[in-house]
Amino acid sequence: MLFNSWEYIVFLVVVTVAFFAMPMRWRVPFLLVASYYFYMQWDWKFAFLIGSVTWANWEAGRRIAETDRPRARKAWLWMALVVSLGVLFFFKYFNFFNESFRAAFEAGGMTYMVPYLPIILPVGVSFFTFQALSYPIDVYRGDHGPERSLTRFATYVVFFPQLIAGPIERASTLLDQFKEKHRFDIDRFGSGVQLIIWGLFKKVVIADRLGIYVDEIYAAPELYDGSTLLLATYFFAFQIYCDFSAYSDIAIGSARILGFNLSKNFALPYLATSIADFWRRWHISLTSWFRSYVYYPLGGNRVSTLVWMRNIWIVFVVSGVWHGAAWTFVVWGALHAAYYVVQWVWNKLVPTPTNPSWWAVLLGMLITFHAVVLAWVFFRAESIGDAWLVVTTILTDTGAMPDLGPSRFTAAINIALIVFLMGIQVLQSRGWISLYFSPSRFPPAMRAAGAAMLVCGIALLGVSSSAFIYFQF
């Protein structure tokens, strides 16, 4: 059941009406059932998997809280880590490592006996395992108390708006909300619906349109010149942003209607003026997860410069691998780590002024954007070889007009939509248009009319629905 489908809209309406109509004590169990129903629309068998991960983490949290013995606490934490990361490793990375070992063995003239396993990747596995795992870690650290109710904890793990592709929540941000009494609030409903409409617009009008061109070009990059590959890569930068942020927007909007607050996941990332700034704005919930559970335990920045750099590399490479079991994602993460370190060195050499001029800000945005775009090549390409071909062709074979595909009219619409998106984002950054429920300078009637215009845009320019890119992660 895709967010960009009528089935989801009907599902959300039914769940919302039923949720607020039923007595308080039934609401959390109802959300649990509804969330499992939502998840089982993809593959009912994986409900057992998510159930197992849920139970293991809940049990670990409970046991950790029950005992003062450090060894026992650590043992239960390890159990949660092994179960959660074991599930993630088996379903997502087994074949990647298996085939990498096979290639290495065969290159050395040796026989490799472990067969390829036809494993189906459970949708959202990277998201729900991380969300579940944060709980026993928080209990172990004393950052959160144990949750006595398995029903409540299970609902926290499978809460349908953010189950498949985040935002990745933590016990402190979401679990406790299931203890609160939620009442229907018409203002929250209105703002939630507006965010859902904006998310749908980004998905079916911008991301899916750009995706048609990007898929065509990246399917056979050797057939195209540098300017075409560059255009496809620019388009991909906006495609992936619109696709992923659209999912987050619809998730946050859906949860808001039901009375829940999910974390902000994107904050105008292409207006970032540096790589560090970009990572404060892009996939915020994952960045925050890695900071809390990987970067700080490694020592963060309270270590020597060399160790700090090592920590940065580890976090970014692990973040790359989290996205997918392929060397392209490793390079993507490594590139961002390199950017981060280069930026640190630059800041040491050229201190950033307190009030930079407008052109310095714009230059920072352009450099950051293009660095991010270069990394997206590796994120999107089918292989390292393809990515390298794209990069070298862009750098060496430019000058010709790009191949705009079968319709110049469609290409013109695509470019106009990107300009429209960036225009909206500039207005959001200046506080004219609401960003995640912040105040807007436009009166409510104008905002309502604006939402109606977006629906008109979806009707006129929307293309047939396809799955969200981040579902594969």
Partner 1 sequence: MASNPIITRLKQPALLLLVAILAFFAVDRAVGAVLREGLDRYFGLDQPEAVLLVGHSHVVLGVDKTLLERELGQPVANYARAGAQLDDRILMARHYARLHPHGVRAIVFGVDNHLFTAKGLSANSYSQFYPHMGDPLVGSMLRESAPEWDYRQRQISHLARYDDVLLNAAIRGWMGNWNNAVGGQFKPEVLAAEVASGDFRRISIDDAQVAHMEAFLDESEQKGWPVFLAFIPTTAQWQAVEPETAAQVEALLRRLADAHANVTFIDLREPWQHREEFFIDPLHLNAEGSREVTADLSRKIAPLIPGAQDSTQ
Can you tell me which of 95, 398, 410, 466 binds partner 1, judged by CB under 8 A?
410
From 144, 323, 336, 370, the catalytic residue: 323
Residues 64-83 touching partner 1, rule: CB under 8 A, are none
Closest CB 410 distance from partner 1, rounded Å: 5
Closest CB 85 distance from partner 1, rounded Å: 42
Can you tell me which of 142, 349, 409, 430 binds partner 1, judged by CB under 8 A?
409
How many angstroms separate the CA atoms of 57 and 50, rounded?
11
Can you tell me which of 25, 183, 408, 430 binds partner 1, judged by CB under 8 A?
408
How many angstroms separate the CA atoms of 289 and 84, rounded?
15
Tokens of 343: 């930026």
The answer to whether 186 contacts partner 1 (rule: CB under 8 A) is: yes
**Residue whose CB is less far from partner 1, 298 or 454:** 454
Can you tell me which of 52, 67, 305, 407 binds partner 1, judged by CB under 8 A?
407
How many angstroms separate the CA atoms of 472 and 97, rounded?
18
The answer to whether 449 contacts partner 1 (rule: CB under 8 A) is: yes
**Contact region for partner 1 (CB under 8 A) — 253-261, 357-365, 428-436, 448-456?**
448-456
The answer to whether 455 contacts partner 1 (rule: CB under 8 A) is: yes
**Contact region for partner 1 (CB under 8 A) — 137-145, 151-159, 432-440, 443-451?**
443-451
Residue type for position 198: W
Tokens of 187: 């203002």
Question: Is 323 tagged catalytic?
Answer: yes
**Contact region for partner 1 (CB under 8 A) — 97-105, 274-282, 300-308, 404-412?**
404-412
Radius of gyration for the alpha carbons in the chain, expressed in angstroms and rounded: 23
Can you tell me which of 384, 413, 427, 467 binds partner 1, judged by CB under 8 A?
413
**Contact region for partner 1 (CB under 8 A) — 20-28, 242-250, 383-391, 452-460?**
452-460
Interacting residue ranges for partner 1, rule: CB under 8 A: 6, 186-187, 189-190, 407-410, 413, 444-445, 447-449, 451-453, 455-456, 459-460
Residue positions annotated with a catalytic role:
323
